[in-house]
Protein backbone atom coordinates (compact mmCIF):
# COMPACT_ATOMS: atom_id res chain seq x y z
CA UNK A 1 0.00 0.00 0.00
CA UNK A 2 1.23 3.50 -0.73
CA UNK A 3 1.78 5.93 2.12
CA UNK A 4 -0.92 8.60 2.24
CA UNK A 5 -0.49 11.98 3.92
CA UNK A 6 -2.68 15.02 4.54
CA UNK A 7 -5.86 13.09 4.56
CA UNK A 8 -5.26 10.72 1.69
CA UNK A 9 -7.37 9.53 -1.14
CA UNK A 10 -9.26 12.49 -2.56
CA UNK A 11 -10.77 10.75 -5.54
CA UNK A 12 -10.92 7.29 -7.01
CA UNK A 13 -13.02 7.00 -10.12
CA UNK A 14 -13.24 5.56 -13.60
CA UNK A 15 -12.44 7.96 -16.42
CA UNK A 16 -14.81 6.07 -18.70
CA UNK A 17 -16.05 2.59 -19.53
CA UNK A 18 -13.13 0.17 -19.42
CA UNK A 19 -10.70 3.02 -18.66
CA UNK A 20 -7.89 2.91 -16.14
CA UNK A 21 -8.60 4.04 -12.61
CA UNK A 22 -8.19 7.79 -12.25
CA UNK A 23 -6.34 8.04 -8.97
CA UNK A 24 -5.74 11.40 -7.32
CA UNK A 25 -3.85 11.60 -4.04
CA UNK A 26 -2.93 14.77 -2.17
CA UNK A 27 0.38 14.77 -0.31
CA UNK A 28 2.79 17.34 1.15
CA UNK A 29 5.33 18.68 -1.36
CA UNK A 30 8.55 20.69 -1.27
CA UNK A 31 9.97 21.86 -4.59
CA UNK A 32 13.61 21.17 -5.39
CA UNK A 33 15.84 24.21 -6.08
CA UNK A 34 16.09 25.28 -9.72
CA UNK A 35 19.01 23.65 -11.53
CA UNK A 36 20.33 22.36 -14.81
CA UNK A 37 21.34 18.70 -14.75
CA UNK A 38 23.60 17.10 -17.35
CA UNK A 39 23.58 13.35 -17.94
CA UNK A 40 25.65 10.95 -20.04
CA UNK A 41 23.55 8.62 -22.18
CA UNK A 42 24.10 5.00 -23.15
CA UNK A 43 21.40 3.28 -25.16
CA UNK A 44 20.60 0.38 -27.39
CA UNK A 45 17.82 0.90 -29.92
CA UNK A 46 16.90 -1.31 -32.87
CA UNK A 47 20.20 -3.19 -32.61
CA UNK A 48 22.38 -0.08 -32.48
CA UNK A 49 24.45 1.12 -29.52
CA UNK A 50 24.10 4.86 -29.01
CA UNK A 51 25.98 7.33 -26.80
CA UNK A 52 25.08 10.91 -26.08
CA UNK A 53 24.09 13.54 -23.56
CA UNK A 54 20.89 14.80 -21.97
CA UNK A 55 20.28 18.12 -20.28
CA UNK A 56 17.36 18.71 -17.95
CA UNK A 57 16.48 22.27 -17.03
CA UNK A 58 14.32 22.49 -13.91
CA UNK A 59 12.84 25.81 -12.76
CA UNK A 60 10.46 26.44 -9.87
CA UNK A 61 9.41 29.72 -8.28
CA UNK A 62 6.69 32.33 -8.12
CA UNK A 63 3.98 29.70 -8.13
CA UNK A 64 5.15 28.28 -11.46
CA UNK A 65 7.43 25.55 -12.75
CA UNK A 66 9.02 24.50 -16.04
CA UNK A 67 11.06 21.44 -16.93
CA UNK A 68 12.72 20.79 -20.28
CA UNK A 69 14.69 17.70 -21.25
CA UNK A 70 16.82 17.58 -24.40
CA UNK A 71 18.52 14.34 -25.43
CA UNK A 72 21.24 14.37 -28.07
CA UNK A 73 23.00 11.39 -29.64
CA UNK A 74 26.23 11.27 -31.61
CA UNK A 75 25.62 11.37 -35.37
CA UNK A 76 21.89 12.03 -34.87
CA UNK A 77 21.78 15.37 -33.04
CA UNK A 78 18.67 16.07 -30.96
CA UNK A 79 16.54 12.93 -30.79
CA UNK A 80 14.08 13.95 -28.05
CA UNK A 81 13.02 17.40 -26.83
CA UNK A 82 10.20 17.52 -24.30
CA UNK A 83 8.94 20.12 -21.90
CA UNK A 84 6.29 20.57 -19.24
CA UNK A 85 5.06 23.91 -17.93
CA UNK A 86 2.45 24.89 -15.41
CA UNK A 87 1.67 26.12 -11.93
CA UNK A 88 2.43 24.93 -8.41
CA UNK A 89 -0.73 24.38 -6.40
CA UNK A 90 -1.84 22.51 -3.27
CA UNK A 91 -1.23 19.18 -5.05
CA UNK A 92 2.28 20.17 -6.18
CA UNK A 93 3.04 20.41 -9.89
CA UNK A 94 -0.04 21.35 -11.92
CA UNK A 95 0.86 20.98 -15.63
CA UNK A 96 -0.78 23.17 -18.24
CA UNK A 97 1.00 21.84 -21.33
CA UNK A 98 3.32 18.94 -22.11
CA UNK A 99 5.00 18.89 -25.52
CA UNK A 100 7.39 16.39 -27.06
CA UNK A 101 9.34 16.33 -30.31
CA UNK A 102 11.09 13.14 -31.38
CA UNK A 103 13.48 12.80 -34.30
CA UNK A 104 11.64 12.30 -37.61
CA UNK A 105 8.25 12.85 -35.95
CA UNK A 106 5.99 15.87 -35.65
CA UNK A 107 5.65 17.35 -32.14
CA UNK A 108 2.59 16.55 -30.06
CA UNK A 109 0.95 18.39 -27.17
CA UNK A 110 -1.02 17.25 -24.16
CA UNK A 111 -3.16 20.00 -22.63
CA UNK A 112 -4.40 20.29 -19.06
CA UNK A 113 -7.28 22.75 -19.38
CA UNK A 114 -7.78 24.07 -15.85
CA UNK A 115 -10.89 26.08 -16.79
CA UNK A 116 -12.67 23.20 -18.53
CA UNK A 117 -11.19 20.64 -16.08
CA UNK A 118 -10.15 18.25 -18.84
CA UNK A 119 -6.98 16.63 -20.20
CA UNK A 120 -6.83 16.42 -24.01
CA UNK A 121 -4.35 15.34 -26.69
CA UNK A 122 -3.39 16.40 -30.20
CA UNK A 123 -2.74 12.72 -31.01
CA UNK A 124 -6.13 11.32 -30.01
CA UNK A 125 -9.72 12.25 -29.23
CA UNK A 126 -9.51 10.86 -25.69
CA UNK A 127 -10.28 13.21 -22.81
CA UNK A 128 -10.00 12.75 -19.06
CA UNK A 129 -11.41 14.73 -16.14
CA UNK A 130 -8.93 17.02 -14.43
CA UNK A 131 -9.39 16.53 -10.69
CA UNK A 132 -6.06 17.87 -9.39
CA UNK A 133 -2.69 16.17 -8.96
CA UNK A 134 -2.45 14.70 -12.48
CA UNK A 135 1.01 14.69 -14.07
CA UNK A 136 2.62 14.28 -17.48
CA UNK A 137 5.63 12.20 -18.44
CA UNK A 138 8.07 15.05 -17.87
CA UNK A 139 6.61 16.41 -14.63
CA UNK A 140 6.01 13.13 -12.79
CA UNK A 141 9.66 12.61 -11.80
CA UNK A 142 9.80 16.10 -10.30
CA UNK A 143 6.51 15.60 -8.47
CA UNK A 144 8.07 12.46 -7.00
CA UNK A 145 11.13 14.50 -5.98
CA UNK A 146 8.91 17.13 -4.32
CA UNK A 147 7.04 14.50 -2.30
CA UNK A 148 10.26 12.77 -1.23
CA UNK A 149 11.72 16.10 -0.06
CA UNK A 150 8.59 16.81 2.01
CA UNK A 151 8.39 13.42 3.72
CA UNK A 152 11.63 11.45 3.27
CA UNK A 153 10.80 9.19 6.22
CA UNK A 154 7.95 7.69 4.16
CA UNK A 155 10.26 6.52 1.38
CA UNK A 156 11.11 3.09 2.72
CA UNK A 157 11.64 -0.17 0.83
CA UNK A 158 8.34 -1.58 -0.36
CA UNK A 159 6.37 1.69 -0.17
CA UNK A 160 4.43 2.61 -3.32
CA UNK A 161 3.59 5.99 -4.83
CA UNK A 162 0.78 6.34 -7.35
CA UNK A 163 0.24 9.13 -9.90
CA UNK A 164 -2.19 9.60 -12.77
CA UNK A 165 0.06 10.37 -15.75
CA UNK A 166 -0.85 11.69 -19.19
CA UNK A 167 1.26 10.76 -22.17
CA UNK A 168 0.92 11.13 -25.92
CA UNK A 169 -2.56 9.69 -26.51
CA UNK A 170 -4.02 8.77 -23.14
CA UNK A 171 -3.45 8.69 -19.39
CA UNK A 172 -3.09 5.95 -16.78
CA UNK A 173 -1.95 5.34 -13.20
CA UNK A 174 1.79 4.99 -12.67
CA UNK A 175 2.97 3.19 -9.54
CA UNK A 176 6.53 3.66 -8.29
CA UNK A 177 7.82 1.15 -5.73
CA UNK A 178 10.82 1.94 -3.51
CA UNK A 179 13.39 -0.84 -4.00
CA UNK A 180 16.39 -0.03 -1.80
CA UNK A 181 19.32 2.33 -1.21
CA UNK A 182 22.25 1.91 -3.58
CA UNK A 183 25.65 3.53 -4.11
CA UNK A 184 26.14 4.82 -7.65
CA UNK A 185 29.23 6.03 -9.45
CA UNK A 186 28.39 9.32 -11.18
CA UNK A 187 30.14 12.32 -12.67
CA UNK A 188 29.89 14.08 -9.28
CA UNK A 189 31.42 11.13 -7.42
CA UNK A 190 29.92 8.21 -5.56
CA UNK A 191 26.38 8.99 -4.49
CA UNK A 192 24.00 7.15 -2.20
CA UNK A 193 20.65 7.04 -3.95
CA UNK A 194 17.21 5.61 -3.43
CA UNK A 195 16.17 3.25 -6.21
CA UNK A 196 12.52 3.35 -7.32
CA UNK A 197 10.98 1.19 -9.99
CA UNK A 198 7.97 1.87 -12.17
CA UNK A 199 6.50 -1.17 -13.91
CA UNK A 200 3.79 -0.82 -16.55
CA UNK A 201 0.54 -2.76 -16.11
CA UNK A 202 0.73 -6.44 -17.21
CA UNK A 203 -1.21 -5.81 -20.44
CA UNK A 204 0.69 -2.65 -21.34
CA UNK A 205 3.42 -2.32 -23.96
CA UNK A 206 4.72 0.78 -22.24
CA UNK A 207 8.34 0.96 -21.13
CA UNK A 208 9.46 0.41 -17.56
CA UNK A 209 11.34 3.12 -15.68
CA UNK A 210 13.97 2.90 -12.96
CA UNK A 211 14.84 6.14 -11.18
CA UNK A 212 17.47 6.83 -8.53
CA UNK A 213 16.99 9.90 -6.27
CA UNK A 214 19.88 11.35 -4.25
CA UNK A 215 18.88 12.71 -0.80
CA UNK A 216 22.32 14.33 -0.34
CA UNK A 217 21.85 16.32 -3.57
CA UNK A 218 18.38 17.83 -3.06
CA UNK A 219 16.78 14.51 -4.09
CA UNK A 220 17.63 15.24 -7.74
CA UNK A 221 17.43 12.22 -10.07
CA UNK A 222 21.02 10.96 -10.49
CA UNK A 223 20.17 8.08 -12.80
CA UNK A 224 17.21 7.07 -14.98
CA UNK A 225 16.86 3.90 -17.01
CA UNK A 226 14.06 3.40 -19.55
CA UNK A 227 13.63 -0.21 -20.70
CA UNK A 228 11.43 -1.32 -23.61
CA UNK A 229 12.54 -4.95 -23.51
CA UNK A 230 15.66 -6.95 -22.69
CA UNK A 231 17.41 -5.65 -25.81
CA UNK A 232 16.37 -1.98 -25.94
CA UNK A 233 17.03 0.60 -23.25
CA UNK A 234 18.18 4.16 -22.52
CA UNK A 235 20.36 4.67 -19.44
CA UNK A 236 21.29 8.17 -18.26
CA UNK A 237 23.68 8.94 -15.40
CA UNK A 238 24.26 12.37 -13.84
CA UNK A 239 27.50 14.13 -14.80
CA UNK A 240 27.05 17.59 -13.27
CA UNK A 241 24.62 19.93 -11.50
CA UNK A 242 24.47 23.68 -12.12
CA UNK A 243 22.27 25.58 -9.66
CA UNK A 244 20.12 28.35 -11.13
* Count of domains forming the chain: 1
Q: Is residue 41 part of a domain?
A: yes
Q: Is residue 99 part of a domain?
A: yes
pLDDT of residue 237: 97
Nearest to 54 by CA among 169, 214, 221, 182: 221
Cβ distance 87 to 94 under 8 Å? yes
Per the structure, the complete domain to which residue 38 belongs is given by 9-243
Q: Is residue 58 part of a domain?
A: yes
Nearest to 161 by CA among 185, 135, 183: 135
Q: Is residue 150 part of a domain?
A: yes
Q: Is residue 69 part of a domain?
A: yes
Q: What is the pLDDT of residues 79-136, one digit of tens each?
A: 889 999 999 999 999 999 999 998 878 899 999 999 999 999 999 999 999 999 999 9
- 225: domain CATH number is 2.50.20
Calculate the alpha carbon distances from 139 to 40, 132, 164, 230 in Å.
21, 14, 11, 26
Q: What is the pLDDT of residues 22-44, one digit of tens each?
A: 877 899 999 999 999 999 999 88
Beta-carbon-side half-sphere exposure of residue 26 (alpha carbons within 13 Å): 11
Q: Is residue 2 part of a domain?
A: no
Burial group, residue 46, by CB count within 10 angstroms (0-12, 13-18, 19+): exposed
Q: Is residue 3 part of a domain?
A: no
Amino acid sequence: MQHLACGALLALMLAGAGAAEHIVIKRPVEMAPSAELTYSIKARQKGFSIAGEATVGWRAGGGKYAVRSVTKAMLFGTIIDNRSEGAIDSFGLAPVTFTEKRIRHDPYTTTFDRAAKTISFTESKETYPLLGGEQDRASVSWQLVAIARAQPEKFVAGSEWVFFVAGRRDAEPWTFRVVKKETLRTGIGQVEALHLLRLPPPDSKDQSLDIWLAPSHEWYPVRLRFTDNEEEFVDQVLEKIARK
